Structure 1
Amino acid sequence: MCCLVFTGSIALAQHTALPQIPANTFLVTSFGAAGDGKTLNTVTIQRALDSARIHGGKVIIPKGIFLCGPLQMYSHTALELQSGAILRLRNDIANYPIGNERYLNFISILDATDIKISGPGTIDGQGQNWWTKYTDKELQYRRPQLLFIEKCKRVELEGILTLDPPNTHISLRNCTDVYIHDIRIQAPDESRNTDGINVSARNCTIENCDIRTGDDNIAINFGDRNKGELPQCSDILIRNCFFGVGHGLSIGSFTSGGLRNLKVEHCEFDGTTSGLRIKSARGRGGIVENLRYSDLTIKNCKWPIFFSCYYPKEPLKPEQDTSFADVPFMPVFRNIRCSNIRVVNAGTGIRIWGLPGSPITDCYFENVQINADKPGEISYAKGLRFISSTIKMKPELYHAEVSGL
């Protein structure tokens, strides 16, 4: 069992409990599933999951290619993909199941406790056909996500490879006690909206993962007020992860519920569009505070450090925005610590853009070394301090209180 350990005002956030799964086992081939890559196994695999719903236990996918449609998992259930097992999403879009005006997600888990998905096997979304039709505007509904997990408690994802989803790989919404570790996430950099992990959670650890995809590698989202969603995120730890192609580690852009206590440490970014990214805007913002980024390497990145209160539409220059209006759901970014970070071969060194009525405050950079083609900008910021840090070219400052550069 893990606990929260506080260092100053920042929590070393971790999951606090693991799922407890009964010892029963359910082999999908015993329910009639065939791993020949041709048979559609939706009914038979769902039958195994339904049996686990009654008794609790582990549903096993053995070696083989198991073509399948949307599935539902329930409490006290584990899904194990053994070595050589491929759970492959059907891609016959014309016949694909639809519900609630969208194409159904591949594996959905709702309002459940004690859930685990593990093993060296693969969950394959066969996304290319979906991406092409989406680009050509031939899809009628929103594309399916591979794993959609909502309002669940004690969730563990371990060891699996998620591959080429039609949309997001893994979405966790308003969950508690989440442990994601030693998984691989892969999709081409040109694939549309294939976020690696979208997470809204309390007590969450993500570690030892390799994420290379076409959108945010990890996105922490917490609250779209227009949809009545105001979940709070807190106590999240991300460590020892590799971020390849993708849009980096993002917070936002919907931040209305608030984020407190995030720690990111010992990670490497190589070829991401952004590295550390916090994004929001007037009307979709909330309090984002107590963040610590440490011992990171960021290479070949266009925007290695990008904190903006103007997403998705930024002014050409911050002086174009003169509004001090305090509107509902203003973004507030504060108490951010960045230490022992090395940035190599970046496009723009740093961009920190607060708002006239809501500056970014108390942001510290200690032993941060940035080598970039362009210096970047810092605007509407207070209490920014650089300690033993260097940026190849000094960024432009506008209404910014900065020391140590």
Structure 2
Amino acid sequence: MPRETPSLFDIRSFGARGDGRTLDTDAVNAAIDQAARVGGTVLIPAGRFLCFSIRLASGVTLLLAEGAVIEAADPARHAGAYDLPEESHGELFQDFGHSHWRNSLIWGIGLHDIAIIGPGRIEGTGLTRDGPGARWRRDTGERPLSMAGMSEAEIRALEPDAAAMNGLGNKAIALKQCSRVALSGFTVAKGGHFAVLATGVEDLLIDGLTIDTDRDGIDLDCVRRARVRDCRVNTPNDDAIVLKSSHALGKAVACEDVTIEDCTVSGYDLGTLLDGTRGRTQQLAPDRDRVTGRIKLGTESNGGFRNIVIRDCRFERSRGLAIETVDGGVIENVRVSGLVMREVTTAPLFLRLGDRRRGPAGTGIGAIRGIVIEGVDAKGIDHRFAATIAGLPRAPIEDVTLRDVQLGYHGGGTLADAARRPPMLADAYPEPSMFGITPAWGLWVRCTTGVRLHQVSHKTDKPDARPEILAENAVIERDPPPEG
């Protein structure tokens, strides 16, 4: 039996087998309980450890050694179940996945000074990516318009009833109202609905993760003082790194003081980031738009976003950067710099202020102001969707600066496309495709004040009959053309 040090607790000393067949849940949780008494590190050594819910504890680090794999057990094949979803504030204003944390492979609530560190691996083989949507309903606004043609049966397959979720796990790592948290150096393959969900977490560092998953990668909801750096996140079916400010804590809470830096996001075929082949077979995400894999603020936006920095990130075969508020929150003081995008599957930049108001009575229209985006180099952009800045007549987007931005599109738009004037769609779910083909090919600005363009250029691979830039109910300030 391995010998213990006062601060290191090897799960093999607690009965873990690591053979990929025996359930090791109890051994892992027993080691965590013991480590929590004195504060220490729980060692997951080399081996394949099959587990249901692992419950973190304050003062404990979970160390996944080289060659260590925590594999999510499957209730359909293994004797056991994940912890039941706890009573919550309900799924009225956010979906099931955002509203529960215990029904996960690894979870913690109300903890402090916790860490999960690599270089080992988490495999969510037995997790589900599905879960019911929010109980809030409106004819538009709950789902992307691209899903309008789906049958009820197809929707049910993606959004089963809540009762069907009992015993299932739909997140790899879920944290709620924790503080001083570090996630570093490990890999997640197939993380369920979320590979990482952090809700109401403060002082969070996510560093050096590699994630290749079937739905969302890293979701930071209502967090404060968070940093995500040097991560590689592949999510063809949903967002890679996304900031949210939902009503999951029972009130509107801002997502603030967050930095995302030196990360790469992508929409390659599932699993092909990890195997190195970077497959391009999958063309559409479940919402019927092209593959996702992006960095986004929103869609859940009750509490708003402030003091956000996104810098030195790369987008590969993915949708572009999205900054959205549609549920009453204010987005302000966002600084974006140093983005490189290749094979952009919808708009390279999408700023949307809408009026969905998925929130309690009294929820109003939010605001977007104080946005600076500079140093963007995007090539291979889907010609249908120009960079878009779209507010509303009664709620314009304010104070947006684009500086040193080069956007390269495929081209091919028609005169009929140029003549389009899409409806406002104030209460629709925000996606670049919501307006259809945009009436400009480079930049389309609608209902916006204080847009400034400095060294912004667009080009197409083939001719496009639409105007390069179109401003509707908006005034754009541009650098004067170069002399000569």
TM-score under structure 2 length normalisation: 0.70
User: Does the alignment pair 1:28 with 2:11?
Assistant: yes
Out of 300, 303, 307, the residue aligned to residue 257 of structure 1 is: 303
Q: Secondary structure at the match of 1:126?
A: coil
SS of alignment partner, residue 471 of structure 2: strand
Equivalent-residue separation in structure 1 for 2:159 and 2:475 (angstroms): 47
Farther off after superposition, 81-90 or 247-256? 247-256
Q: State the alpha-carbon separation in 1 of the partners of residues 356 and 316 from structure 2.
A: 24
Q: Please report how far the alpha carbon of residue 32 of structure 1 lies from its aligned counterpart in structure 2 after TM superposition.
A: 0.1
Equivalent-residue separation in structure 2 for 1:127 and 1:304 (angstroms) = 35
2:216 aligns with 195
Shift of 1:329: 2.9
- Greater fraction strand: 1
Spell out the pairing of 1:42-53 with structure 2 (5 A cutoff): 42-53=25-36
2:107 equivalent in structure 1 = 108
Deviation at residue 235 of structure 1 after TM alignment: 1.1
User: Residue 3 of structure 1 corresponds to which residue in structure 2?
Assistant: none
* Pairing partner for 2:339 from 293, 296, 318: 296
Paired letter, 1:338: I
Cα distance in structure 2, aligned partners of 1:305 and 1:130: 27
The structure 2 residue matched to 1:212, chosen from 220, 234, 240, is 234
Residue identity matched to 2:444 = E
Amino acid at match of 2:265: F
Tell whether the 8 Å contact from 2:129 to 2:170 is kept in structure 1 after alignment: no
Q: Pick from 307, 311, 314: which aligns with 1:268?
A: 314
TM-score, normalised by the number of residues in structure 1 = 0.83
* Counterparts of 2:126 and 2:311, CA distance in 1: 32
Q: Deviations over 1:10-64 (max 9, x none)?
A: xxxxxxxxxxxx9711100000001100001111111111112222110000000
Alignment match of 1:159 (pick from 168, 185, 210): 185
In angstroms, what is the RMSD of aligned CA positions?
Answer: 2.5
String of CA shifts for 1:106-156, please: whole Å, max 9, x gaps: 111111110110011001101587669984766712752110011111111
Shift in alpha-carbon separation, 1:358–1:136, aligned structure 2, 3 A = closer
Q: How many Å separate the matches in 2 of 1:260 and 1:34?
A: 47
**Cα deviation digits, residues 75-134 of structure 1 (max 9, x gap):** 101000000000000012475335237781111111111011001100110158766998
Where in structure 1 are there 5+ consecutive unaligned residues? 1-21, 314-326
In the alignment, structure 1 residue 308 sits paired with structure 2 residue 308: no
Residue 221 of structure 1: SS of its match in structure 2? strand
Q: Distance in 2 between matches of 1:397 and 1:79?
A: 53
**SS of equivalent residue, structure 2 residue 202:** strand
Shift of 1:310: 3.6
Q: Distance in 1 between matches of 2:349 and 2:57?
A: 40
Letter in 2 for 1:306: F
1:351 matches 2:396: no
The question of whether the paired residues in 1 share the 8 Å contact of 2:391 and 2:447 is answered with yes
| In 1: Cα distance, 2:220 partner to 2:407 partner | 29
Q: Which residue of 2 aligns with 1:234?
A: 256
Distance 2:406 2:468 in 1: 12
- SS state of the match for residue 33, structure 2? helix
| Aligned residue in 2 for 1:386 | 453
Instruction: Give unmatched runs, 5+ long, in structure 2.
Output: 87-99, 132-153, 268-291, 412-440, 460-466, 480-484
Instruction: Specify the SS of the correspondent of 1:254.
Output: strand
Residue 123 of structure 2: aligned partner: 124
Identical amino acids, percent of aligned pairs: 26
- Residue 96 of structure 1 is matched in structure 2 by 81
SS, match of residue 49 in structure 1: helix
Matched-pair contact (CA < 8 Å) for 1:265–1:295: yes
Structure 1 residue aligned with 2:277:
none
User: What are the Cα deviations for residues 328-369 of structure 1, in whole angstroms up to 9, with x where unaligned?
Assistant: 331211100011111111112301111122111100011101
Distance in structure 1 (CA, Å) of the matches to 2:207 and 2:158: 36
Deviations 1:262-318 (A, max 9, x none): 11111111111x22101232xx121110011111111111221011124889xxxxx
Give the CA deviation at 1:390. 1.1
**Amino acid in structure 1 at the alignment position of 2:26:** V
The corresponding residue for 1:247 is 293
CA distance in 2, matches of 1:329, 1:161: 40
